[in-house]
Copies of this chain bind each other. A is one copy, B any other.
Amino acid sequence: MQIQISPGGSQTIYRQIVDQIRRAVAADKVAIGDSVPSVRQLAKDLVVNPNTVAKAYAELVRDGVLESQLGRGYFVARRKNIYTKAERLRRLDDVLDSVVSEALALDFASEEVVQRLVERMEALSPRER
């Protein structure tokens, strides 16, 4: 379970941690029940504050990706949908709108955007869906 952050990036540190773990789980690079690095260990490795890691892990627990076992650590949870269809669409639309805005700002044609998205999605979905 390798995690890397780029402190200079536009994304916040805890966001980068969340995303990477989500992708690792989605790509089956870690199995259900596997442990992820302890809060303190990861904080030490990334040279960030433990609270930052804890915040990232807390979000992953909230979204059902990880489970916490007090005193033992965090583990990859069995995948389950916890949000209603409407809520899931609402959240998806939020980020899609930012894509549309950015595409307009950069004068990309729709086809370019879609094609680029397809490329980036396929790149990390080796598991069966």
Q: Which residues of A contact B (CB under 8 A)?
A: 7-8, 10, 12, 18-19, 22-23, 26, 33, 62-63, 65, 67-72, 75, 77, 79-84, 86-89, 91-110, 113-114, 116-118, 120-122, 124-125, 129
Q: Sample 5 A-B pairs with CB under 8 A, ordered by A number.
A: A8-B67, A23-B100, A81-B84, A92-B108, A110-B129
- CB <8 Å contact, A106 and B92: yes
Chain A at the B interface: SS class: helix
List B contacts of A108 (CB < 8 A). 88, 92
Q: A19-B101, A83-B83 are in contact. Are A117 and B107 (CB under 8 A)?
A: no
- CB <8 Å contact, B110 and A118: yes
